[in-house]
Amino acid sequence: MTFDNLPEYIKLYKKFLLSEYDSQISFIRSGLFDLLNKNSKKNFSSLITYQDLEEFITGMPTLDLSLLRENTITDPYDPNSKVILNFWKALESFSEEERSLYLKFVSGRTRLPDSRSINFTHKIQRLNKRNPDDYMPTSTTCYFTLNLPNYSTYEILRDKLRYVIHNCNSIDADFVPDEGADQFDEQI
């Protein structure tokens, strides 16, 4: 390189920088499209937007309650029982953020999977307790299951469900509240 050929050098260097990962990107693109085409009813060989790709990988950004309802099993509850109707009414009253918290509570995810490529089943099971109004709902994230007591009123169901989604964010009791407490005491 000399001062005389500096513009040519810069041009070639820029071209090199812009294309230096072309081979790796080509392999990633090829693998991604193979994966998407195998796991989807939609043909991704055509041009897709980043929004399509994001939704395919991370799920839908908002909770589609009708889709969740279609994929929900309420055994042994009857789908038209008072507690199940109150459950759906409560979810409808929740904000988008609370619906996302509900998904996290029952599945460990904050978004529903892309229904075009993954079949899922959301279960609501009865949590049998003598005085159901005294108990909180629980979940089993591995099975996308809500264990729901047979609450006597809509208000009790809504309030208890809202409480657990806001305050019980450990996944299947993986969180230990005292973890790190000793470290904090040492710092004082």
What pLDDT tens digit does each residue of the chain (188 aa) get? Answer: 788 899 999 999 999 999 999 999 999 888 877 766 665 555 555 667 778 777 777 888 888 899 999 999 998 999 999 999 999 999 999 999 999 999 999 999 888 876 666 788 999 999 999 999 999 999 999 999 999 999 999 999 999 999 999 998 766 455 545 554 444 344 43
**Rounded to whole angstroms, how far apart are CA atoms 129 and 133?**
9
**Rounded to whole angstroms, how far apart are CA atoms 100 and 165?**
9
**Rounded to whole angstroms, how far apart are CA atoms 96 and 27?**
37
Residue 142 annotated in active site: yes
Choosing from 53, 142, 143, 181, the catalytic residue is 142
> What residue ranges define each of the domains in the chain, with the CATH number in brackets?
6-58 (no CATH), 65-167 (3.30.2410.10)
Give the helix/strand (H/E) hosting 19.
helix 6-19
pLDDT at 54: 79
pLDDT at 188: 39
Q: What are phi and psi of 122, to 5 degrees?
A: -100, 130
Helix%, strand%, coil% for the chain, nearest 5:
50, 5, 40
pLDDT at 87: 98
Prediction pTM value: 0.68
